[in-house]
Amino acid sequence: MPDLFEYIEKALLASSIAETIDLSQQAFELSCATSGGFVEPVTRTIQPIERVRFPEKPICVPPKELPRRRLGSEAGKRSFIHAIAHIEFNAIKLALDIAYRFKGLPEQFYKDWLYVANDECKHFNLLCDHLTQFDCQYGDIPSHDGLWSMAVKTEHDLAARLSLVPRYLEARGLDVTPGMLDKLYAQKDTASAEILEIILEDEVTHVEYGTRWLDFVCQRDAIQREELFFKHIEHYLKGQILGPFNKPLRRRAGFTDNELLELERLDKRHSKK
Ligand SMILES: [Fe+2]
Ligand SMILES: [Fe+2]
């Protein structure tokens, strides 16, 4: 029986896009096929996060050097779709990494994050197919590595990873995507909008998994969730969180009214500066 974690490790260490996707999908299929019989090897070793590889292209540049992504022009639309494809490719590695790096969790933890990785592969493929209409391939436009840097910063702490990746970075997608959809519909670009609708619905589940597993850690360690979440927001972001927040979608993803109020308070404090 092949070891699930070997597939995940190979997918993380692969620099090729096709290999990353192929191995990620194989790991997901294997996790579905091993219901109830899934055992994490006690002796499994974990490669340092610095060994995780990415494709040579796109090249990474500081955010201020990125091309403009105004939706009004063909070039802007191309950059916009490419930027989302880049987020989705990073999201594949992020979901694989959380399933790989943290040991001794229930079987469902690994299954949930492989499910997420599989969704991210689907999102990435949809966007890559769509990019061909703009005479563009993933890798053609410079991007930034802001998402992955959060994985590196939180490599030793599952609660920090859950707070900062699904519950901060992915949750931000829930806030901003509805506005992008409005613009795309206003331009009658239903092809792009349909892809973003699929992504948005799936992302609610990803953020909800973040909430669910943060709850698990809190119950296990007898800590209050809000306290732990905001401790990490303060530590890693210095409380610099940006709104406005999409409350209905965030509520569906498990944010409480208290958490939403506190996020708004931090956003106001930050905007005043
Ligand atoms: Fe996604
Ligand atoms: Fe996601």
Q: Does 197 map to a domain?
A: yes
Indicate the pTM of the whole model: 0.95
Q: Does 47 map to a domain?
A: no
What's the mean pLDDT in 15-41? 89
Distance CA 90, CA 68 (A): 20
What's the mean pLDDT in 57-83? 86
pLDDT value of residue 85: 97
Contact 105, 167 (CB under 8 A): no
Q: Which-ligand-closest: CA of 207?
A: 2
Q: Does 57 map to a domain?
A: no
CA 272 / ligand 2 centre spacing (Å)? 31
Q: Does 49 map to a domain?
A: no
pLDDT value of residue 37: 66
Mind listing the pLDDT tens digit for each residue in 207-231?
999 999 999 999 999 999 999 999 9
CA 182 / ligand 1 centre spacing (Å)? 19
CA 117 / ligand 1 centre spacing (Å)? 8
**What is the span of the domain harbouring residue 30?**
4-37+73-271
What's the mean pLDDT in 72-81? 90
Q: Reply yes or no on whether the pLDDT at 270 is more than 80.
A: no
Q: Does 58 map to a domain?
A: no
Q: Which-ligand-closest: CA of 86?
A: 1
Task: State how many domains the chain has.
Answer: 1
CA 273 / ligand 2 centre spacing (Å)? 31
Q: Reply yes or no on whether the pLDDT at 11 is more than 60.
A: yes
CA 42 / ligand 1 centre spacing (Å)? 31
CA 41 / ligand 2 centre spacing (Å)? 27
pLDDT value of residue 250: 98
Q: Reply yes or no on whether the pLDDT at 204 is more than 60.
A: yes
Q: Does 253 map to a domain?
A: yes
Q: Does 45 map to a domain?
A: no
Mind listing the pLDDT tens digit for each residue in 245-268?
999 999 999 999 999 999 999 998
Q: Which-ligand-closest: CA of 121?
A: 1
pLDDT value of residue 71: 80
Tokens of 67: 């091309």
CA 205 / ligand 1 centre spacing (Å)? 10
Q: Does 143 map to a domain?
A: yes
CA 176 / ligand 1 centre spacing (Å)? 13
What's the mean pLDDT in 122-140? 97
Q: What is the mean pLDDT of the chain?
A: 93
Out of 43-47, 150-154, 197-201, pick the least confident. Answer: 43-47
Phi-psi region of 257 (alpha: psi -120 to 50; beta: other; left: phi over 0): alpha
Question: Residue 1 — pLDDT band, cuts 50, 70, 90?
Answer: very low
CA 267 / ligand 2 centre spacing (Å)? 23
Closest CA to 85 of 122, 53, 42: 122
Q: Which-ligand-closest: CA of 123?
A: 1
What's the mean pLDDT in 177-206? 97
pLDDT value of residue 246: 98
Mind listing the pLDDT tens digit for each residue in 31-66?
998 766 677 888 889 999 999 999 999 998 887 787
Question: Residue 273 — pLDDT band, cuts 50, 70, 90?
Answer: low
- Burial (CB < 10 A; 0-12, 13-18, 19+), residue 256, is middle
What's the mean pLDDT in 159-188? 97
